Copies of this chain bind each other. A is one copy, B any other.
Amino acid sequence: MEFMTDPAGIEARSMEIIAPHLTGLQLSPAEVKVYSRMIHASGDPEYAPIIRIHPEAIKAGCQALSAGCNIYCDVEMVRTGINKNRLAEYGGTVQCLIADPEIAAIAQNNGITRSMAAMRQFAGQLDGAIVAIGNAPTALFEVLDIINRTNIRPALIIGVPVGFVGAAESKALLHETAPVPYITVLGNKGGSPIAAATTNALVYMLEK
């Protein structure tokens, strides 16, 4: 069986195939890059009409990354998917506490998810940083609650939790009420590769 084996060629051809799915959406060149990576990561062009990018999101995210901000994730799969070598060139790191035994104990004692407890623990560190949530609606609800109760303001929230319990609701709340820039996907779809791909799209836009 004949098939492409060259990584750069595969990526270029993928982007060519995705492009027609974005026609009519009136996207900026930077938005096209973000949309394309989200669709590439899901294999699902039906993401195109449900992606929502705040007008300041890409600029704010790139500025924060250039300044060396950290990225705070809900789950390890998001951390794994982010290009940490490229990020490190600007001084940023990727943080995740879901596997921390102390966080597990706090979650258990409070009857909440570990990713929610992790966001509560990060709290002030989220100020000026990027939040990347690819799995847990509860983590996104918690970040929105922190913003609502405090002066903590992430530079950008990449909020694409997935599933049927709270995912659509948490992302609608992000889209409709967040006083900070965001990138999200309406409805039930999302996931760790979508969060990582969105983050990487911004990282790849940076120029040294």
Contacts and interface: CB of A to CB of B under 8 A. Distances in A.
Interface in A119-138: 137-138
B166 A4 contact: yes
How many copies of this protein are present in the complex?
Answer: 2
A31 interface: no
A189 B114 CA distance: 29
B111 A192 contact: no
B5 A43 contact: no
Interface residues of A, number: 48
A141 interface: yes
Interface in A150-189: 162-167, 169-170, 173, 187-189
A1 B173 contact: yes
A63 B169 CA distance: 40
A167 B188 CA distance: 23
Contacts of A81: 77, 192
